[in-house]
Amino acid sequence: MSFIFRRLFSTTSPTMSEAAQEKVKQLIADNGVVVFSKTYCPYCQNTKRLLDGYGAKYAAYELDKESNSDLQDALFEITGQRTVPNIYINKQHIGGDSDFQAVVKNGKDGKNIEELLQAAGAI
């Protein structure tokens, strides 16, 4: 019972995990295209190269440069994906580099990649 009251009326700050999830969600909300990445990751480099090829603006969030290692766990909790790159276009989860390559080739939801990037305000 006291647990329920503590839970309902707690004024304590969010847990680390909740804070990391909020940060991830904010980055997705604030940016048309987001690539959660690691600087040394060849798949991430490929994704960024493809985006650069379209002249797209994107936020690359380099997790290996980030002291907060909770972010990768938060991404897993939100997307079910633990690897990088972890890509969002227009708040829609795309997946990793191979998923992005498939979108470049086939489009998504009836839109080609240029249309998707335009809708995201990235080009």
Ligand X SMILES: N[C@@H](CCC(=O)N[C@@H](CS)C(=O)NCC(=O)O)C(=O)O
User: Which residue stretch of 6-14, 50-58, 81-89, 108-116 sits at the interface with ligand X (rule: CB under 6 A)?
Assistant: 81-89
Nearest to ligand X of 44, 120 (CB atom): 44
Q: Which of residues 24-53 bind ligand X (CB under 6 A)?
A: 38, 41-43
* Interface with ligand X, residue 85, by CB under 6 A: yes
Hey, what's the torsion of the CAs at 43, 89, 79, 60, to 10 degrees? 50
Least distance to ligand X from the beta carbon of 40, Å?
7
Q: Report the C-alpha gap between 117 and 110 in whole angstroms.
A: 13
Among 33, 51, 96, 116, binds ligand X (CB under 6 A): 96
What's phi and psi for 48, nearest 5 deg?
-65, -35
Distances (CA, A) of 111 to 35, 105, 107, 116: 20, 11, 5, 6
Footprint of ligand X (CB under 6 A): 38, 41-43, 83-85, 96-98
